Amino acid sequence: MPKVSRQSATQGGDFGPVVDRAEEVESYAVDFLTFREDIDHRPLLKGLPDDRCQCPHWGYVFKGELVFHYADRDETYEAGDAFYAPPGHAPTHTAPGTEYLQFSPADELQRTSEVIMKNFESMRPPG
């Protein structure tokens, strides 16, 4: 059976406010995520349907706090919580040092990541 750890993951990288150690396993993305700053993904999701992530995620929070905002509710997960986030969410990370493991369909996550990176680049000050 394939396996991956934070140390063995070969994809992702250090993006400043977030470190993503990732690997694709059998058409699923496995991401070990660490957030160094508070991040509200809502501006980064602009351009997706309803300006929300349409990729489902399953995961486990090791440290900190993760909030998924839906059109009709918010769901908060803290250290020790497992989660499922169906399509139609916008995450925020409100505790620097938040760490979690996330599993997602790789093709759907790739489409979302492309929009996030495009928006992230457009928000950066010229330099």
**What's the whole-model pTM score?**
0.89
With beta carbons less than 8 A apart as the criterion, state whether 80 and 97 touch: no
SS3 call for 80: coil
Interval 69-101: pLDDT, tens: 999 999 999 999 999 999 999 999 887 889 999
Q: What is the pLDDT of residue 80?
A: 98
Interval 28-50: pLDDT, tens: 999 999 999 998 999 999 999 99
Per-residue burial over 95-110, b = 16 or more CB atoms within 10 Å of its CB, e = otherwise: beebbbbbbbebebbe
Section 14-30 average pLDDT:
93
| Residue 27 per-residue DSSP state | T
Instruction: Write down the domain spans for the chain.
Output: 18-95+111-123
Q: What is the pLDDT of residue 1?
A: 58
Q: How many other CB atoms sit within 10 Å of the CB of residue 59?
A: 20
The verdict on domain 18-95+111-123 having CATH code 2.60.120 is yes
Q: What is the pLDDT of residue 76?
A: 97
With beta carbons less than 8 A apart as the criterion, state whether 106 and 27 touch: yes
Q: What is the pLDDT of residue 22?
A: 96
Rg (CA), the chain: 14
